[in-house]
Every structure is written in structure tokens, then in C-alpha cells.
Amino acid sequence: MPKKFLLLLLVVGLVASSAVGVFAQSPVDKFRELQKQIDDLSGKLRETQNKATTLTNQITYMDNQIRLTSLKMQDTTEKVIKMQNEIEILSERIGVLERSLTDITSLLIDRVVATYKNAQIPAGLAMLSSNGFSELISKAKYLHLVQSHDKKILFEVQSTKSDFESQKQLLEEKKVELDLLKEKLEAQQIDLDKQKQDKQSLLTITKSDEKKYQELLAKAKSEQNAIEIAMKTAITSLKDGTPVDEGKEIAFMGNSGAPSCSTGAHLHFEFTQDGARRNPADLLKNRDLVWDNSPDGSFGFGGNWNWPMEGTIRITQGYGMTYFARTGFYGGGPHTGLDMVASNTVIKSPKSGTLYKGATNCGGSTMKWVAVDHGGGKMTWYFHVQ
């Protein structure tokens, strides 16, 4: 090869490698950079949480959440691509091993057949068929070499087969890992869509107005504090309870606590087991409902208890990290009950028990409540009643 051509190749190679260094990152560097961005953004989220609760800060927090989820999705996508490449390389390697194993096995079978044929020749016949003793010795040495070679082939078969099985197992493990990464990516996409929807809903509800946001926030906090106080004091001071049968009237849906901690007539229904809050949806039986809790939407019910109200029931908020909980209205905690509005305002006890009644201050207003102790540590609570 001419020296000029070799020099040209060297120059082209150096230019290409420099271009790669400038315009591309290695997979390791890309992962490190993504992780650094994720860590930095996580720190910003913590800083925003510690600031005063304002609409601007909440929107900033939500924007950072969206960016963080997007970065995590990018990180997961890179891992998916890396895993897919590894699976492709492994599949090719397994194909080569499989062909090699087939060829070596075929050769081994041929050698076994040949060795078997040689082994069937009697010693006397071998002597007669040989031109003298020296030729017989040569044949014996040759046969010994062939047998040694056969052992080597057998070892190669075993080694290749072991490697083949190991690579197949690794491939299956990689496929499982890839499926988990894809599931993770799908979950992150759902989170991202929900976060974007939450932000848009908050802007719509508050009309991008700080005063409106502060009013809603104050009512949510007042309600949360009043319920906490009512339940804590009631647990230690419940007295003068009256027996109540299943299906009997215990109160009427109302708007007590307004205007400080209620935005309209509704029932805030809670369930506790041994003093710990539980999801009321796990208690109640399935029934037809009207869903008015956008952007959250419908959810299921897994119990066999009757509902506390009848008629057309409209669900306005569920239990747990609902939309309002995610947007910071409960101080980062969950919504602790099930909010509903019914066409029939009569509230009935879903099971028999002992009925208690009370009232608590709620941001300057009075919020009334009733509770039923059903025994066995089970209690149901009804807030904002008339």
C-alpha cells in the first residue's frame, strides 16, 4: 500500500475521532450527565417546597416536577436502547455458538464412528493387514493421536455447550430487564401526562389568580386542621353515645364550616380502623356514580357496606394523593376521606353501632360532625353535616 494512502487514512481517522469527541458522548458520559441533571433538579424541588406557598411557587414546583420526570424518562429510554443493543449482540453471539456447536458435534459424531470402526479390527487381522511391525506401530500411534484429538473435540463440545447455555440464560435475564424498563417508561409517561394535566387544571381553577389560590388553600387547610382536631379529641372524649341500627338516619348532608372551610354542601366521609385512616372505597360496595373529580376520574370500590347516602351520588374527591393533594392543598399529604354530594341529603349508618355527635371550630366557622363506632376498632366519620 502506498505511503501517501496510509498517511491519508491516518489523517481521516484522527479527524473522525476528534469529531466524535466533540459532537457525541459516550453512553457512560451521557448517563452521568443525565443523573447530574436529575440530582440538581431534585434539589431545586426540595428548595421550592421549603418556600412560602404561593401560586407562583407551586407552578414553579410543578414545572420542575415535569422537567424531572422528562429527564427520568430520557434516562430510562437510554437504558432501554442500551439493553436492546446488548440483547441484539447476545442474540448474534448465541447464533454463532449454536452453529459452532452443531459443526463440532457433527465432527465428533464422525470421529466416534471412525474410531468405533477401527476398534472392531482384531489385533491379528491388523498385523496381517500391516506391512511389517513398524507399520503396525505407526498405525497404533496414529490411532492414539486420533483418540486424543477426539477427546479435544469432546471438550470443545462441552465447553461450547456450557457457554451456549450461559449466554441463553443471560439473554433471558436481559429480556426480563428490558420488559421492566419498558414498564417503568410507560409509568413515567403516565406520571408526566398527569403532572402536565395537574398544572393546567390548577391554572384553570385559580384562573392564574394568586388571591383565588390563597382562598382555596386557606379553606383546604382549615378543613384539614378542623377534622384532625375533631377526630383526636373525639377518640379520647366520646361519651353519651346512642345505639343506632344499620340503615338508620344519623344526620343530613350540609355545609357547616362555611365559608371558612367548605365550598358547598357535601359530605366528607372517613373510615378509621384502630384509629388509623383507611380508604373508604375499600369499605363500600360498587354502585352507579357520577364522577365530578376531574382530572382524577373514576376508581373502584371493594367492600360490601352500604353507602351512607342514597339517590344520585356525585363524587367530588377521592381518598389519597388526589389532584388537590398533589397540588399542595393539604401540605403535601393525602386527602383523608371521600367527598360526595347526593340528591337525597339523608345520611344513614352503613352498619349498626354507637352514634356520637360533635362540632369543632373551623377557621372562625363551626363545622358539625357525627361518628359511628361499629365495634372491632371500626369507626365511620361524617363531616360538614347540618
pLDDT tens by residue, 265-316: 999 999 999 999 999 999 999 999 999 998 899 999 999 999 999 999 999 9
More confident site: 274 or 15:
274
Q: Is residue 95 predicted with pLDDT exceeding 50?
A: yes
Residue range 357-378: mean pLDDT, rounded:
92
Same domain, 28 and 139: yes
pLDDT in tens, 354-364: 999 999 988 88
* pLDDT band per the 50, 70, 90 thresholds, residue 331: confident
Phi, psi for 98 (deg, rounded to 5): -65, -45
Bond preceding residue 243 cis, omega within 30 of 0: no
Same domain, 242 and 194: no
| Count of structural domains within the chain | 2
Question: Of 176-185, 237-246, 335-344, 359-368, which gets the smallest average pLDDT?
Answer: 237-246
Same domain, 67 and 94: yes
In a domain, 3, yes or no: no
Question: Of 34-38, 220-224, 286-290, 376-380, which gets the smallest average pLDDT?
Answer: 34-38
Strand 249-252, strand 346-348: pairing: antiparallel
244, β-bridge pairs:
353
Burial of 274 (0-12, 13-18, 19+ CB in 10 A): exposed
Same domain, 164 and 65: yes
Question: How much is the mean pLDDT over the chain?
Answer: 80
Res 114: pLDDT: 62
In a domain, 6, yes or no: no
More confident site: 352 or 220:
352
pLDDT in tens, 125-140: 444 444 444 554 554 5
Closest CA to 103 of 160, 188, 19, 171: 160
Render 69-132 in DSSP notation, one character per residue.
HHHHHHHHHHHHHHHHHHHHHHHHHHHHHHHHHHHHHHHHHHHHHHHHHHHTS-HHHHHHHSSS
Res 363: pLDDT: 83
* pLDDT band per the 50, 70, 90 thresholds, residue 62: confident
Domain boundary among 200, 229, 256: 200
* pLDDT band per the 50, 70, 90 thresholds, residue 35: confident
* C-beta separation of 336 from 383 below 8 A: no
* Long-range contacts of the stretch 184-192 (C-beta < 8 A, 24+): 184/76, 185/73, 185/76, 185/77, 185/80, 188/69, 188/72, 188/73, 188/76, 189/73, 191/69, 192/66, 192/69, 192/70, 192/73
Domain range enclosing 345: 212-385
